[in-house]
Structure 1
Amino acid sequence: MGDDIVHRRITVRRFGGPEELRTVRATLPPPQPGHARLRVLAAGVGFTDLMARSGDYLLQRRVPFTPGYELVGEVVDAAPGEGDEAAPPPPGTRVAAALTKMGAYSEYVSLPLRRLVPLPDGLDPVRAAALPLDYLTAISVLETHARVEPGDTVLIQGAGGGVGQAISTLGRLRGLTMYGTASSPGSAERLARHGVTFIDYRREDVERRLRELEPGGVRAVFDHIGGANLGTGYRALAPGGVLVSYAFAGRPGRMVADTVRGAARVKLMNLRPGRRTALSMVPAEIKAGPAWYRESLARVLQLAADGVVAPETGGVYPLTDAARVHAALERREITGKVVLTPG
């Protein structure tokens, strides 16, 4: 096996603002059995990265750490594991991966072989790096939790975000009737391209408008906001419908507490008869269902290679500009999925 690799990665040593993202030198030893070392080609930036950096993310409560849940890389070397389902890919193989623990903002990483999904021929690494977390979340809420069927009606809260767009794209392929809340300029046109009827939540009463459009209620509601939106979404459901929550917006400095409170509320709401609620937590679902993860991500990557899926990107930036990217995202100067490249 090869020697140690000295490389750069982005590290958060204490919770705080974007300035806490520091470029450091690190050493990556040869891979353990059942792992591969990758040269990172591109890493996706998600809102959870910003929350983790500030200390407001429930699943990342310790420092130091390297942000990032998704990446595309090239295999440097690999070590087979005893009885491992995934055979080691040869050096030079390009793969995508969604991580269960953060660490993608790096020039090199070591990952379990079961996390690696080969890239289809011709798929651009930058484009692929924008896919894993958003589209795995979309598959989770649509298929695992809501179990939607062609012709079902759904409401997507915050349809303009990355996951909202992924749900819209996959929902259109499944023949869903979709309504989506958003407010940013141009939302109506963007959502219409995905077959989504736009509801401006700042200017319209969402509950009343949806009742006009779907008097009998909708089959499923997908929510990443929480708070009062949970009640709105629940009341919009038809009998037998389901509200799926996959994230919670919280108050600065209180996001962890608000997330716990929101998750508890969703579970309590599920005790009511006639409708149901569910929580989607993709990092946990990846860990619990490796076969589901590999099949789902491979399917999404192939859809992208075929031109069926095309995430809206907000720009490609050098890895060492991570702090400036986080600051721009917080100021809402960038829209769309951002990708970092270590090159």
Structure 2
Amino acid sequence: MNDEALSGREIIVESFGGVEVLRLRERTFSAPPPGHARVRTVAIGVGFTDLMARRGDYLLQRKVPFTPGYELVGEVVDHEELEPGTLVAAALPKMGAYADYVVLPSWLLVPLPDGLDPAVAATVPLDYLTALSILETHAQLTTGDTVLIHGASGGVGQALSQLGRLKGLRMYGTASAAGSDERLARYGVSFIDYRHQDFAAVIAQREPDGISAVFDHIGGANIRKGYRLLARGGVFVSYAFAGRPGHMVADTVRGALRVNLLNLLPGRRTAVCMLPKEIKSNHDWYRHSLRRLLEQVHAGELEVAPGATFPLAQAADVHRALERREINGKAVLTTK
């Protein structure tokens, strides 16, 4: 083990606000305590959760200062078992990935398959673990089941679409981004343009007996509307709540309460997927699932690629571009 403190950079948010609050600073990263590892980051996934946290709209990150970022790929610096230089991926149970170095519990580190591009791998942990948890832990679906995926062209939506295709699901997906119909068709998803179509009317017409599951990241009126589309025994799974600007936390709490109250009704069920908590509560599931997903990407079973890459120092530019919807797919920060 290397006991030397290492100098590096991190992005810090000291007050909630716009992209201008993302500040790059130098700091030292101490040697890891027992049971932990120090990792030099190579690629960091950037998602909309990071933007919400920066603005103060994310329920699981309500205090400043903090360093954003839930997912990364890096090289082991010092570890009790892994060789220095080993490439590993990690989904973090709390934010802190926007940095040159991170100190993490050893159980979080999952080695990359040989030859897998770190920038590609960095787009996998958060979205694909969320999708896998929705499909297998919460929905518990089988081949031939019919589902509705809201935001099917987004990060989790595309992960659900691809994993759903491998599982043999019949899928409908709402989206509006240009090219969504062609992209979703590759995954076997029937496209619903929510700008011009009422998703509930489309599903009710095509699936009069109801569907097996609805996956929702919006909340509000969508909750009851989607719940009513379920067949007996169906499940409604929420994995985020859009909320109103300035009311995100309150709307998230209200949405989660609605979902849980609907679970009291007979005949159907509801669930809320909160990946950071699930990672902390089930280490074995996390490690097995992330390893499996990375192997599927490496084998070409899942189509994964970053929408854009930027150096760490340009984190504010990435947030700005994501807010303006200028990037299709997940953005990645690099430290080299």
- Range class of TM-score, shorter chain: over 0.9
Partner of 2:70: 69
Partner of 1:246: 239
Aligned with 1:146 (options 139, 161, 177): 139
Offset at residue 226 of structure 1 (A): 0.4
1:1-343 residue pairs with structure 2 within 5 A?
Answer: 1-78=2-79, 80=80, 88-343=81-336
Q: Give, as a single letter, the amino acid of the residue that structure 2 aligns with 1:171.
A: G
Partner of 1:84: none
In structure 1, distance between residues paired with 2:225 and 2:141: 20
Identity, % of aligned positions = 65
- Structure 2, gaps ≥5 residues long: none
The answer to whether the 8 Å contact 2:135/2:141 transfers is: yes
Q: Give, as a single letter, the amino acid of the residue that structure 1 aligns with 2:11.
A: I
**Normalized against structure 1, the TM-score is what?**
0.97
Per-residue CA deviation, residues 125-183 of structure 1 (Å, 9 max, x unaligned), is 00000000000000110000000001100000111100000000000000000000011
- How many residues were matched structurally? 335
- Secondary structure at 1:299's aligned position in 2? helix
The answer to whether the 8 Å contact 1:42/1:125 transfers is: yes
Offset at residue 123 of structure 1 (A): 0.4
In structure 1, distance between residues paired with 2:133 and 2:44: 21
In structure 1, distance between residues paired with 2:324 and 2:214: 29
Offset at residue 312 of structure 1 (A): 4.4
Q: Give, as a single letter, the amino acid of the residue that structure 1 aligns with 2:236.
A: L
In structure 2, distance between residues paired with 1:38 and 1:307: 27
Offset at residue 92 of structure 1 (A): 1.1
- Secondary structure at 1:313's aligned position in 2? coil
The answer to whether the 8 Å contact 2:119/2:306 transfers is: no
Per-residue CA deviation, residues 242-272 of structure 1 (Å, 9 max, x unaligned), is 0000000011111001000000000001011
The answer to whether the 8 Å contact 1:311/1:337 transfers is: no
In structure 1, distance between residues paired with 2:211 and 2:295: 30
Offset at residue 55 of structure 1 (A): 0.3
- Secondary structure at 2:9's aligned position in 1? strand
Q: Give, as a single letter, the amino acid of the residue that structure 2 aligns with 1:44.
A: G
The answer to whether the 8 Å contact 2:46/2:333 transfers is: yes
Could you say what the CA RMSD is over the residues aligned between the two structures, in angstroms?
0.8
In structure 2, distance between residues paired with 1:26 and 1:310: 37
- Secondary structure at 1:324's aligned position in 2? helix
